Each structure stands twice: as C-alpha cells, then as structure tokens.
C-alpha cells in the first residue's frame, strides 16, 4: 500500500526521472514526503526506499543528516531564532526567552494546538538584520518581542499564508529540467 498521495507519488517519479541514478533523488523525495505530512513518516521512508531502490534504513540515515528534514512531527510553522554571536549581541537570546514564554513551550517543543515549533538556530546567515528569525525557512527579518508576538498572531490567523507556506513546503515553483 502506498503512503504518498497519488499527486506526490507522481511528482516523486517525475523527480526520479531527472537523475541518472534513482538514488540521487532521495533527498528531494524526502522533502516531497515532508511537504505532504509535515514530517518524514516511517511509511513515507519505506515508500521512498522502494522508489529509489535502497533500504528504509538508508533513507532514515540520509534524512537524519539534514536538519531541514524532520523525523518527528513538528508544528505547521517552525520558527527558528538565531543566537549566534551577531544575533546574541543584538538580543537573540532575550528574543528566544521571550518566544518560549510567549508560546508557553521550550526550544524543540510544539504548541498544544500544533501550530508552532520553536527552534534555536546556530546561524541563519542574515546577520545584518539581527536577531535573525525564520519561519519555515523564510526570512522574516529582525524581530523584537512585540513584533514576534505580532508575527505569531499573523501566522495563526493565516494572514501570512501567501508568503509562508505550511512547514514541509520548500518550493512553490516545480523543477522541470534535468536528465530525461
């Protein structure tokens, strides 16, 4: 039985066709499965393994290397707050502490409504707008405690859904070039 939806499975097979070796499509297929479920479920790993011709353990081993692929459920919105040196000096740790208090969760946890998972990031490479914050790998710029609370409210109400898709969706434009 297939875990991937017919649409996602069709896209997976299209992606595999872009590579000379099916195994090379493993990471993109993990992203596709995560787009469907919000995280990489064991059932998806089994199906991906079957599609690319490896074992489910190889899929898990590869996926576990990448922090953009989640092996456990996460919220619809994954908020990452940088606490590296530039962000630390501009209030990154204070912002992270505020986020934990405001959301009522610790780092690595998800709110009870399943909307937000909070992450501490080592560096998000946007030091000019420290403290740097990303939501689902989209930059949202420097944040203060007040703007953070407003950001979370806009996420909860769907006001930002045009610019920040649900977690798991990395791209909105589909690749259509490569080996055929």
- Residue 124 in contact with residue 134, Cβ under 8 Å? yes
The string of pLDDT tens digits covering residues 60-85 is: 999 999 988 999 999 999 999 999 99
- Categorize the per-residue pLDDT at 165 as very low, low, confident or very high, splitting at 50, 70 and 90: confident
Q: How many domains does the chain have?
A: 2
What CATH number is attached to the domain comprising 97? 3.40.30.10
Cα 10 to Cα 6, 14, 29, 119: the distances in Å are 6, 6, 11, 32
118 in a domain, yes or no? Answer: yes
| Per-residue pLDDT at 15 | 92
Q: In what order do the strands lie in the sheet with 77-82?
A: 116-121, 77-82, 133-135, 138-139
| Per-residue pLDDT at 67 | 85
> Do 89 and 43 share a structural domain?
no
Global pTM reads: 0.85
> Do 43 and 21 share a structural domain?
yes
| Mean pLDDT, residues 149-155 taken together | 97
> Do 113 and 53 share a structural domain?
no
Indicate if the pLDDT at residue 176 is higher than 80: no
| Region of poorest pLDDT, from 47-51, 67-71, 101-105 | 67-71
1 in a domain, yes or no? Answer: no
175 in a domain, yes or no? Answer: no
| Mean pLDDT, residues 107-120 taken together | 96
> 93: Cβ–Cβ under 8 A, 6 or more apart, which residues?
83
> Do 50 and 93 share a structural domain?
no
Q: How far apart are the first and last CA of the chain?
A: 28
Indicate if the pLDDT at residue 172 is higher than 70: no
Task: Give residue 47's domain range.
Answer: 6-63
3-state helix, strand, coil in the chain (%, to 5): 45, 10, 45
- Percent of the residues in the chain that have a pLDDT greater than 90, as a whole number: 79
167 in a domain, yes or no? Answer: no
Tell me: cis bond preceding 105? Omega within 30 of 0 counts. no
> Do 93 and 23 share a structural domain?
no
> Do 82 and 59 share a structural domain?
no
What CATH number is attached to the domain comprising 20? 1.10.10.1590
> Do 81 and 142 share a structural domain?
yes
Cα 165 to Cα 11, 35, 80, 123: the distances in Å are 18, 10, 15, 22
Please, what's the b/e burial string for 75-101 (b: 16 or more CB within 10 A of its CB; e: otherwise)?
bbbbbbbbbbebbeebbbbebbebbbe
| Per-residue pLDDT at 168 | 66
> Do 10 and 49 share a structural domain?
yes
């Amino acid at each position: 039985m297939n875990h991937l939806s017919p649409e996602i499975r069709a896209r997976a097979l299209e992606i595999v066709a872009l590579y000379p070796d099916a195994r090379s499509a493993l990471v993109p297929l993990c992203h596709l499965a995560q787009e469907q479920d919000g995280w990489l479920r064991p059932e998806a790993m089994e199906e991906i393994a079957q599609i690319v011709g490896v074992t489910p353990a190889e899929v898990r081993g590869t996926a576990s290397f990448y922090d953009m692929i989640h092996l456990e459920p996460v919220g619809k919105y994954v908020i990452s707050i940088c606490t590296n040196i530039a962000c630390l000096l501009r209030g990154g740790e204070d912002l992270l502490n505020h986020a934990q208090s405001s959301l009522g969760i610790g780092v690595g946890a998800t709110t009870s409504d399943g909307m937000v998972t909070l992450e501490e990031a080592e560096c998000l490479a946007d030091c000019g707008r420290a403290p740097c914050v990303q939501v689902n790998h989209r930059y949202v710029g420097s944040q203060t405690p007040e703007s953070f609370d407003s950001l979370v409210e806009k996420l909860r109400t769907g006001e930002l859904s045009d610019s920040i898709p649900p977690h798991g969706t990395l791209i909105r434009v589909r690749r259509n070039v490569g080996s055929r």
